[in-house]
């Protein structure tokens, strides 16, 4: 009969420092924890936990059993000197304590439960054999660096499944089943199934049915507002998690400016006199305080000069130079070249690219162009009428109109430019940059007497094909129409 045992470890990013005087400091992603005058048991347990999963019952043989209720899965129901201090230390370090389930054969853990919150509470309880259980509807199961990763944005832990038994049990829970049904379906011993299930429930990735067989998250009105994809993106973009794309080999140092795509015609653009515009432009307050509308698209014709001024004032590169870091951090942060443009970008990364789908414009032929913000020019990337029509129709439908706009600005992002510096937070930061750019383009258009506003689109793969993007290194992230006020 297979016997399961609880194992303990610290997250990979934790560092245990033990001084010659017996001092103990644990450095984690949540901060430093200083344990003054730590008991020998605390120091030795944390030292071994930093090396990998360990049974705390094996840390010392000096513990003696007593008449008391076991806690911490029975591991610390002993009277060893320092056991209470170890319990307290593990509680304080809860956000960095990994709970693993192993077999007594010593062949490594079946699964590990890894915290993704500062102070989660992990407590396993036996699940009644007949009670229905199910994976959270927000769960995702995917390949992980060490096994299969199982996570839910509503849980305070993520789970890594190492052994086939653990994967098999988790996979059967795509639909509601009882522990008894899982045993019958998989042929895995009942004790092992029960232990795996108790860990998955404690991790928050598996839900218990209520008295009437319903699951609480299905009836939660707040959770019903979220799709699984959106909630997972929200939680992962707001909290750093291991396994992101930071420090990936091969990213190199992506250039500040994208190389000119293709060999199509190049059109230098008009450069306005900004000093003259400063005299005649409406004030920022005037622009902000007028009502914002999404007007009907017109049949008016833009000029190449207007498109040139619009892009010059809203998106050109003013200068290129080294990145600016907070005082005293320049030598610690990633080194990259940066540019200065009219809109905000974290660390001056400016990963956004602009493409212009021209419909009606005097001085520019119909087609899809890439904007070079350094040389302030447009390069033709696609003159296929079907692709252009698809882009313009997408904007027309997204804008709730019956006419195609005079021009469509499509914003893309060069993700290596972001991931090389921001890692797993790259995409969420890019969306913030899109908002900053959209606002800038809107204000510039208003100052010029034009109308520019974002349109929500169902892009599918149309943008990638029409713009000939190297997906997923460069991805579409937003659209903005340019037209005249109705």
**pLDDT at site 399:** 87
pLDDT of residue 232: 86
H or E, element range at 29: none
Q: In angstroms, how far apart are the furthest CA atoms of the chain? A: 90
Whether residues 94 and 209 share a domain: the answer is: no
Same domain membership, residue 313 and residue 404: yes
pLDDT for 338: 86
How confident is the model over 85-97, as pLDDT tens digits? 888 999 999 999 9
- CATH number, position 151: 3.90.930.70
CA-closest candidate to residue 391, choices 308, 472, 483, 458: 458
Residue 407 contacts residue 483 (beta carbons within 8 Å): yes
Measured distance CA(419)–CA(278) in Å, rounded: 37
Quick one: 33 and 146 in the same domain?
no
The CA–CA distances, whole Å, from 258 to 186, 270, 310, 356 equal 53, 21, 20, 15
Query: How far apart are alpha carbons 109 and 417 in whole angstroms?
Result: 38
**Any domain includes 248:** no
Number of domains within the chain: 3
On whether the CB atoms of residues 191 and 129 are closer than 8 A, the answer is: no
Domain boundary among the residues 101, 119, 134 is at 101
Residue-wise pLDDT tens digits, 337-358: 788 999 999 888 899 999 999 9
Please tell me whether residues 270 and 236 are part of one structural domain. Answer: no
Cα–Cα distance for residue pair 57/150, rounded to 1 Å? 28
- Please return the burial class of 266, using the count of CB atoms within 10 Å of its CB with bins 0-12, 13-18 and 19+: middle
In terms of DSSP bridges, do strands 140-143 and 148-151 run parallel, antiparallel, or are they unpaired?
antiparallel
Q: Determine the pLDDT at residue 196.
A: 97
- Mark whether 28 and 143 lie in a shared domain: no
pTM listed for this prediction: 0.81
pLDDT at 244 (0 to 100): 53
Output the pLDDT for position 249: 57
User: What are the two backbone dihedrals, phi and then psi, of residue 185, each rounded to the nearest 5 degrees?
Assistant: -75, -40
Residues 264, 260: Cα–Cα separation, whole Å: 9
pLDDT score of 260: 79
Domain holding 316: CATH number?
A: 3.40.109.10
* 96 and 115 fall within a common domain: no
CA distance 320 to 257: 10
DSSP state for residue 9 in the 8-state scheme: E
The residue among 154, 247, 164 whose CA lies nearest residue 203 is: 154
Does the residue 249 lie in any domain?
no
Q: For tokens 């829970």, what's the residue?
A: 173
Identify the burial level of 363 via C-beta atoms within 10 angstroms of its C-beta, where 0-12 means exposed, 13-18 middle and 19 or more buried.
Answer: middle
Residue 256 lies in a domain: no
For residue 254, is it within any domain?
no
How far is Cα 57 from Cα 65, in angstroms, rounded to an integer? 11
Query: Would you state the pLDDT for residue 81?
Result: 65
Choose the final residue of a domain: 101, 117, 140: 101
Q: Are 324 and 208 contained in the same domain?
A: no
- Residues 344, 459: one domain? yes
Residues of the chain with pLDDT under 70: 60-81, 239-252, 324-336
How many CB atoms neighbour CB 270 within 10 A?
16
How is 416-434 classified by DSSP, letter by letter? HHHHHHHGGGHHHHHHHHH
> Is residue 210 domain-shared with residue 273, that is, in the same domain?
no
End-to-end CA distance of the chain: 78
In this structure, are 399 and 302 located in the same domain?
yes
Range of the domain at 210: 108-243
- CA 479/CA 317 separation, integer angstroms: 20
Written in H, E and C, the secondary structure of 216-252 is: HHHHCCCHHHCCHHHHHHHHHHHCCCCCCCCCCCCCC
C-alpha distance from residue 19 to each of 51, 82, 112 (Å): 18, 18, 30
User: Who's near 402: CB < 8 A, 6+ residues apart?
Assistant: 296, 396
Question: DSSP secondary-structure letter at 323?
Answer: P
Tell me whether residue 255 is in a domain.
no
Residues 323 and 222 reside in one and the same domain: no
Asked if residue 285 and residue 197 are part of one domain, the reply reads no
């Amino acid at each position: 009969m297979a016997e399961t045992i609880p194992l303990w470890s610290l997250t990979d990013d934790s560092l245990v420092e033990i001084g010659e005087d017996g001092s103990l400091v644990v450095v984690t992603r949540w901060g430093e924890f200083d344990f003054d005058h730590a008991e020998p048991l605390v120091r030795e347990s944390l030292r071994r936990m930093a090396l990998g999963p360990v049974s705390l019952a094996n840390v010392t043989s000096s513990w003696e059993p007593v008449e008391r209720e076991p806690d911490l899965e029975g591991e610390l129901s002993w009277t060893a000197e320092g056991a209470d201090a170890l319990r307290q230390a593990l509680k304080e370090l809860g956000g960095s304590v990994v709970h693993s389930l192993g077999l007594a054969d010593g062949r490594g853990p079946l699964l590990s439960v890894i915290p993704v919150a500062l102070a989660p509470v992990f407590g396993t309880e036996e699940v009644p054999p007949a009670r229905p259980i199910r994976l959270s509807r927000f769960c995702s199961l995917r390949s992980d660096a060490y096994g299969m990763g199982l996570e839910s944005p509503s849980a305070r832990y993520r789970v890594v499944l190492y052994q086939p038994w653990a994967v098999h049990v988790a996979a059967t829970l795509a639909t509601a089943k009882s522990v008894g049904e899982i045993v019958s379906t998989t042929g895995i011993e009942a004790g092992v199934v029960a232990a795996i299930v108790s860990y998955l429930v404690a991790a928050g990735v598996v839900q218990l049915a209520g008295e009437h067989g319903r699951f609480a998250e299905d009836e939660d009105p707040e959770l019903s507002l979220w799709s699984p994809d959106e909630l997972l993106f929200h939680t992962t973009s707001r909290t750093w998690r291991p396994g992101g794309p930071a420090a990936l080999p091969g990213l190199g140092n992506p250039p500040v400016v994208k190389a000119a795509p293709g060999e199509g015609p190049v059109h230098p653009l008009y450069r306005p006199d900004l000093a003259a515009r400063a005299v005649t432009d409406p004030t920022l307050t005037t622009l902000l305080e007028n009502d914002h509308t999404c007007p009907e698209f017109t049949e008016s014709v833009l000029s190449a000069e207007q498109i040139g001024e619009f892009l010059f004032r809203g998106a050109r590169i003013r200068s290129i130079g080294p990145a600016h870091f907070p005082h005293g951090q320049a030598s610690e942060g990633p080194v990259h070249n940066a540019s200065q443009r009219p809109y905000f970008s974290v660390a001056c990364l400016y990963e956004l690219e602009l493409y212009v789908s021209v419909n009606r414009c005097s001085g520019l032929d119909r087609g899809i162009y890439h904007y070079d913000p350094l040389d302030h020019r447009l390069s033709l990337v696609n003159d296929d009428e079907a692709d252009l029509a698809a882009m313009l129709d997408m904007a027309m439908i997204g804008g709730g109109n019956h006419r195609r706009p005079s021009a469509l600005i499509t914003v893309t992002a060069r993700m290596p430019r972001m991931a090389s510096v921001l890692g797993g937070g790259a995409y969420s930061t890019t969306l913030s940059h899109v908002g900053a750019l959209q606002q800038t383009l809107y204000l510039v258009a208003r100052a010029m007497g034009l109308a520019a506003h974002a349109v929500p689109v169902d892009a599918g793969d149309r943008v990638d094909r029409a713009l000939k993007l190297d997906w997923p290194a460069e991805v579409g992230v937003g659209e903005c129409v340019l037209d005249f006020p109705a």
